[in-house]
Amino acid sequence: MIIDREKIKSLAAAQSSNGGYYMSAFVSTSSLENWRKNTPTFLNSAFTEMMKERDFSHEEKRSLEGDLERIRGVLSYDITPQTEGLAVFADQAGGVFERIELPVRFEDRLVVGKSPYLRPLLCVLSLFEPFVVAQVSKDDSHLYLVDELRVVRSEDFTGPYLKSSNQETGEVPVKEYYAANRQESLIDQHHKEVAAAIDKMIEELGIHWVVLNGNHDIVSGFRRALSQRVAARVVGEFPLDATASIKQTISRAREAMKAGRAHGRQALAERIRESLGAGGRGVAGFSDTAGALFRGQVQRLLVDQEYRPSGFRCVECDFVSLTQSDPCPVCGGGMLPVEDAAGEAMRVAVRQGTYVEIGEDIPALKELGEIAGLLRYG
């Protein structure tokens, strides 16, 4: 169940056609809750409140009622046993309907806008991003591709060995170490093979993070075989436990991944803070960060998970602002209110291919105004 980044990017670029709106619904489907009974009540209540608060035309209301009906229909579908949350995106006017099942609960929410509301999905991606675990030794190593739930792919690598022939039983593979003066070169050869496989996995699947597992001295030697691209994606390391099951190993890898990513986000905030000013690569605060995003200058966007200011967005050019200005100061298009301006900025970032980081309890990010970016160039 690897989260499809290309699907999220496609949703980020979507705009409602024919003057309509996207309806985005997020619901918890936990077995601990009677969600099939409670969710329709929530959806109906949220929709009724929305119709009171916003000035939709008669045709727009009819189209949105159609979207709501289709979303309610999804609640009767079968879902996988691992599913804890369901995201649905509907645009009846544009003939679009997408559903995504995920292994984490969502806070029940109904949002209507000119584009899909993606922040909850990006939060899940931040928590459960797929990664590679490289369990390395001198001559017997393993790669595990881990998604939100489990190992979805594994590869085994065995170092060079000789075959000896037994006349009674036939040819039997027997691992034999070469002369001592060749062992180091054979270890290097084995590590290069494993490192190349990680590189290929990153190239094929777009995996961003790698966790290393093994004896520290061996892992240190293995790091020398990594390409620059792979080395930059290593976020953690933990010692090998020969008695651990694969499930236990992956659990410890997740802990190392979580700690490494938290440290990385903190380091990113500090780097942005140190890079502020003319000629620097840092930008901070909503207005400056949104402006840099609009110009396509942001390489990595960092947003506090609790930062959700209301604001406005242009229906034509995606300009986002915290202050009302109609028409759009950039292109003259119409400006519409949005519940979560930071969420809109995140959607624009995903559409551009900017990497989005969601931080939690980062003092440096608070100082930066709860939203900041590292620019592609100074």
Give the tens place of pLDDT for each residue, 123-179. Answer: 988 888 889 999 999 889 999 999 876 888 899 998 765 334 444 544 544 444 444
What pLDDT is recorded for position 172?
Answer: 44
Delimiting residues of CATH 3.30.960.10 domain(s) in the chain: 1-118
Delimiting residues of CATH 3.30.1330.30 domain(s) in the chain: 275-378
**Residues lower than pLDDT 70 in the chain:** 1-3, 31-32, 149, 160-182, 378
Of 3.40.50.970, 3.40.640.10, 3.40.190.10, 3.30.1330.30, which CATH number belongs to 275-378? 3.30.1330.30
What is the DSSP secondary-structure string of 44-78?
A: HHHHHHHHHHS---HHHHHHHHHHHHHHHHHTTS-
Contact 89, 24 (CB under 8 A): yes
What pLDDT is recorded for position 112?
Answer: 95
Tokens of 307: 């930062």
Taking the C-alpha atoms of residue 244 and residue 232, their distance in angstroms, rounded to an integer, is 28
Q: Can you name the CATH fold of 1-118?
A: 3.30.960
Delimiting residues of CATH 3.30.420.60 domain(s) in the chain: 131-265
Per-residue model confidence as pLDDT tens digits over 244-265: 999 999 999 999 999 999 999 9
What is the DSSP secondary-structure string of 113-179?
A: ESS---HHHHHHHHHS--EEEEE--SSEEEEEEE-SSSEEEEEEEE---EEEEETTTEEEEE-----
Per-residue model confidence as pLDDT tens digits over 176-188: 444 455 678 888 9
Count other C-beta atoms under 10 Å from residue 166's C-beta. Answer: 9
What pLDDT is recorded for position 378?
Answer: 67
| Average pLDDT along the chain | 89
Q: Which CATH class is domain 131-265?
A: alpha beta
What backbone phi and psi angles, to 5 degrees, belong to 197?
Answer: -65, -40
Going by the DSSP 8-state scheme, the letter that residue 216 receives in this structure is H
pTM, entire model: 0.85
Tokens of 81: 């046993």
